[in-house]
Amino acid sequence: MEKILKLKNVNEDVYNYIIKVGLLHLALHAFDMYVKSDFAINNITESFNVWVDKFRVFHALSMMEGIRRKMMKMMIKRLQDARSWYIVIPHLVQMKLSDRQDEARFMTILCASDKEFEVKEDVKFYIVNLETQSYDCGLWELSGLPCKHVMVVITTTRKNPSNFVHPYLTKDAYLRTYNHVIYLISDQEQ
Ligand SMILES: [Zn+2]
């Protein structure tokens, strides 16, 4: 919020626009923790247009039919691929965990007990409690993935980072997402 207020001095029009749209949609600190996402970019419309591709020029029914088939193919492929994974955490989530492990290398840690730790990053200190899963920065709760401050504690205490990933981001959740069936529809002209 402090940075949003600073923006007012830089450009008041932009500040007013952000306040009008709502911080809930634009600022990480105001995101709903339930969604487990720290993504502040919204280009879903653009992405959907690219994904729909050639069907955009079709009339409505043919376009819907094309999208239905494309979604059906995508969902069954993702389901089949995920069934063959031997890991609990999907590859993309695993890559993010690795990035946070790399970032954690530059921090120092002070243990108060088996569960409580103080993590130092530059001149700032963060308190992490692994048992209650409480910590100062808030990114873990927001994204569902341990942030670099939690990761340094996990690595130092030789725990498995996968055990600290939110269930939404596991293979099991991925399988349940793509387990739904888009049923075939007979040709209406037959
Ligand atoms: Zn953090």
Q: Where are the domains of the chain?
A: 1-30, 33-185
| Sequence-separated contacts (24+) of 33-42 with Cβ below 8 Å | 33/141, 33/142, 36/142, 36/143, 36/144, 36/166, 36/168, 36/169, 37/142, 37/143, 37/144, 38/139, 38/142, 38/143
Q: Report the share of the chain in percent with pLDDT over 90.
A: 40
Q: Which of 90, 111, 114 is nearest to 174 (CA)?
A: 90
Q: How far is C-alpha 178 from the chain's CA centre?
A: 17
Residue stretches of the chain with pLDDT short of 70: 42, 188-190
pTM of the model: 0.78
Q: How many helices (H) and strands (E) does the chain have?
A: 9, 4
CA of 168 to the centre of ligand 1 (A): 19
CA of 98 to the centre of ligand 1 (A): 15
CA of 165 to the centre of ligand 1 (A): 14
CA of 63 to the centre of ligand 1 (A): 45
pLDDT at 190: 63
SS3 state at 34 = helix
CA of 125 to the centre of ligand 1 (A): 10
Q: Which of 133, 130, 104, 132 is nearest to 117 (CA)?
A: 130
DSSP H/E element including 23: helix 23-26
Question: Which residues, 6+ apart, have CB-to-CB distance to 116 below 8 Å?
Answer: 127, 128, 129
CA of 180 to the centre of ligand 1 (A): 35
144: left (phi over 0), alpha (psi -120 to 50) or beta: left
CA of 76 to the centre of ligand 1 (A): 36
Tens of pLDDT, residues 60-106: 888 899 999 999 999 999 999 999 999 999 999 999 999 999 998 88
pLDDT at 74: 93
